[in-house]
Structure formats: structure tokens, C-alpha cells
Amino acid sequence: MKRHSTDLTSPTDVRLIYAGGTFGSYGQPLAPLDTDIFLPVLQSLLTDDLPRFSWLDNPLIKDSSQLHALDFTHFYTLILNAYATGQRQFVLITGTDTLSYLGAFLAEAFAGSDICIVLTASMRTLLDSTIIHDYQKDDDSDAWDNFTAALRLAAYAESGVQICFGGEAWPAQTVQKIHSHDLMAFTGHTRAAYPASSYVKDLPTARRQHWLDDRLAALVDMTTRAANARVQAIYCLPNDADVLRQQLDHLADKPPCGIIILGFGAGNIPKSEALAAALEQAYAQGHMVVCASQCAFGGVSASYAAGSWQYAHHVIAGERLTIPAIYARLLWLHIHFDTPARRRQRWRYTVTQGSNEKR
């Protein structure tokens, strides 16, 4: 008799959340199976050597490419409410398209807690879609190994948010997808700073309750702001500076949002007086503009005059953060804090806390 259950049996159980993605997809074309179909099938595959876990009900099942700010807030709320009941260990199964974005967002959202969240996904479906008369596990898929590795990692209960994939695990803020179809599709690193460095192994009861009270009290306002939260991206190409200026002007009269400028190399971008004025205007309108690198590794720096000039016009250097991590931080700041000044203040705090981050 298998010891896994759909009922909550103990605060020490891992809570499993199924959210769709390739992992639970089936058919032609592939689409995520509904919970009432997929979970019993997954349940039938389980073995007694796996750690104890129970399901956490989740009504949001969709392909991860369709996720947006409100969906990210949904998963935060779902896990936060379970955390408030004494649950600490979670596995979230989602899709690979936005795995790194969602993971980084949850890392930001739960900073300062002792929660343990492990996200995983797969490049191939758990079930063999060539077999149409029955649901059978695809032995060539990476899904089962990713799932069981994530479950065992969550059972270990190390505080923080991690992504487990392809036999490895990394702090969620460091992870990015580097291949569109290979089984080793993700990479990350372990020398992570904030928010990974903010998690504590043993959080005193009073401190945990204070953290929870603050977060639960803010949920309604956060959900309202999430409905309108936007993070925009401007990708630099070999165009003159006026093209970049036009893109910024298009956003200037919009509600305050996050804007990521994807610069060349170490963050170099075209320069002009008009573009400098557009950056000043974006700041005046409450936008947070962050410069990131198009390069997968290394981040940005102010070493080159071709890039350093922008920081005199209120652009924030993305440092060594990945694009998903910058997106996640901007989104979290926009839904958790109600003014541009408070968002910028918090960004400066995270930079200070993460000044030792290396890659």
C-alpha cells in the first residue's frame, strides 16, 4: 500500500502543486491534462521509496508560456496560505518556458522566510502520447527523474527557492534556459546572493508570524496591483539611438512599469541627447529602467563609456542578475510596493545585500 495521499497528513509532508506544462501534457497537439485526469495517473506511478507528500489543490493549469503577473501572484498566494498553516516544503511542477521567471519571482516573494520551494519541469512529457488507449510512462522522458529529484530535494527541507532540472539544482534567481529542446536545457550557479542569502534555516515562531502577518495583510492590494503590473523589454540592435528613444517615448505616458534595456556586451547602448532626455522622462513618470546584458553570462558593468553614461540618467545596472531574475524583481517590486520611490529604495537594499554575488 502506497503511503502517499491526497489528504494532508502532517506538517512535515512535502506539498505538491501541479500547474501544467510539458510535464503533464498529452495528445496531439500536446496540451496539459486537467488535474482530475493527470494526478490519479501520476499517483499510480509512485513508489514507496519516495518521500511523504500530499497534493495542494491548484485550479490554475496552463501552458507556462501563457503565464502572466496575476498567475505568478496566484502561485505566491497559494503557497503563502499553505505556509501560514505550518507547511514548509513544496514542489511546484510547471513548464519550462517560464520556469526561471516563476522561480525567481517566488524567490523574491518569500525572501526572509524559512520556506523550502523546489520548482521542476521537463522537456518531454511524462506520458507517452504515442500510446492512445492507455496512459503509460515514457521511459525516455526526463520528467520522472526531474520530479523524483525535486521531491527528494524538497524533503531535505533546505530553506530557499530552488530549481531542480537535469540532475542539478540551483538557487532560482540564478537559473536560465539555454537550450530550446535539449534535455539539459537549464543552467545556473550556486554562489547566489540576495534573495537566496536572505533565507534562514530556523525562523523563530514570533518572527515567522510577523513576516506572515505583513504578507497576508498586503495580499489584496498586491493582487490589485498585479492586474496592472507590466515589465517591458527593449532589445538593442545595431540601430541609431533614435530607435531606442522612440521605444522609450512610447512607454513614457503609460502607468509606471519596469523597463529592461537589453544592451550589448557589458551593457553598452547607443547614445544621444534625445535618448538621455527620454530616460530622464521615464524616471519622472515613475518607471524603473534596468540595463541588462544580451549575453547569457557576466552581466553588465560601467567599465565602458558606451554604457556607463546611462547610469547618470537614473538607469539601474542589472549587475550579474539574469534577465528572468531582473524581470522577477521588477514585478515583485511593482506589486509589493505602492510608489516608485519605495521600489527604488528596495532595489538599492537588495543590491547592498547582494553585493557579494558572483558567477
Same domain? For 41 and 160 the reply is yes
Cell of 29: 497537439
In a domain, 48, yes or no: yes
Q: State the pTM of this model.
A: 0.94
> How many domains, in total, are found in the chain?
2
User: What pLDDT, on the 0 to 100 scale, is given for residue 303?
Assistant: 87
Which element (helix H / strand E) includes 345?
Answer: helix 340-353
CA-nearest of 118, 232, 124 to 170 is 118
Task: Tell me what the mean pLDDT of segment 324-349 comes to.
Answer: 96
For the cut 50, the answer to whether the pLDDT of residue 228 exceeds it is yes
Same domain? For 167 and 315 the reply is no
Q: How would residue 7 be classed by pLDDT, with cut points 50, 70 and 90?
A: very low
In a domain, 3, yes or no: no
Residue 302 to residues 279, 293, 298, 309, 316, Cα–Cα distance (Å): 17, 12, 13, 8, 11
For the cut 70, the answer to whether the pLDDT of residue 11 exceeds it is no
Sign of CA dihedral 84, 163, 44, 38: positive
Tens digits of residue pLDDT in 172-206: 999 999 999 999 999 999 989 999 999 999 899 99
DSSP-based three-state secondary structure for 234: strand
Same domain? For 184 and 263 the reply is no
Same domain? For 30 and 171 the reply is yes
Cell of 104: 525567481
Same domain? For 211 and 240 the reply is no
Dist. CA 17–CA 150, nearest whole Å: 12
239: domain CATH number is: 3.40.50.40
The beta strand positions in the chain, using DSSP E, are 14-18, 25-26, 31-32, 53-55, 89-93, 116-120, 160-165, 168-171, 176-177, 186-187, 231-235, 258-263, 288-293, 316-317
Q: How would residue 12 be classed by pLDDT, with cut points 50, 70 and 90?
A: low
Among candidate residues 177, 199, 222, the one where a domain is terminated:
222
Among candidate residues 203, 222, 241, the one where a domain is terminated:
222
Taking only Cα atoms into account, the Rg of the chain, rounded to an integer number of angstroms, comes to 21
- Please enumerate in sequence order all residues whose Cβ is within 8 A of that of 348, keeping only pairs 6 or more positions apart, or say none: none
Same domain? For 157 and 234 the reply is no
Cell of 5: 495521499
In a domain, 291, yes or no: yes
Provide DSSP, 313-334. Answer: GTPEE-TT--HHHHHHHHHHHH
Same domain? For 20 and 150 the reply is yes
Q: What is the average pLDDT score of the chain?
A: 92
* Burial (CB count <10 Å: 0-12, 13-18, 19+), residue 293: buried
Task: Tell me what the mean pLDDT of segment 281-285 comes to.
Answer: 95
Same domain? For 175 and 111 the reply is yes
For the cut 70, the answer to whether the pLDDT of residue 5 exceeds it is no
Provide DSSP, 62-112. Answer: --GGG--HHHHHHHHHHHHHHHHTT--EEEEE--STTHHHHHHHHHHHTTT
Tens digits of residue pLDDT in 211-227: 999 999 999 999 999 99
Domain that holds residue 96: 14-222
- Cβ contact 288:258 at 8 Å: yes
Orientation angle between helical segments 219-226 and 205-217, nearest 10 degrees: 50
β-pairing, 31-32 vs 25-26, is: antiparallel
Same domain? For 18 and 157 the reply is yes
Tens digits of residue pLDDT in 105-163: 999 999 999 999 999 999 999 999 998 888 999 999 999 999 999 999 999 999 999 99
* Burial (CB count <10 Å: 0-12, 13-18, 19+), residue 341: exposed
Q: How would residue 354 be classed by pLDDT, with cut points 50, 70 and 90?
A: low
Tens digits of residue pLDDT in 32-78: 888 899 999 998 888 889 998 899 999 999 999 999 999 999 999 99
Tens digits of residue pLDDT in 16-45: 999 999 999 998 898 888 889 999 999 888
Same domain? For 236 and 339 the reply is yes
How many C-alpha atoms does 118 have within 13 Å on its Cβ side?
24
207: domain CATH number is: 3.40.50.1170
Same domain? For 169 and 315 the reply is no
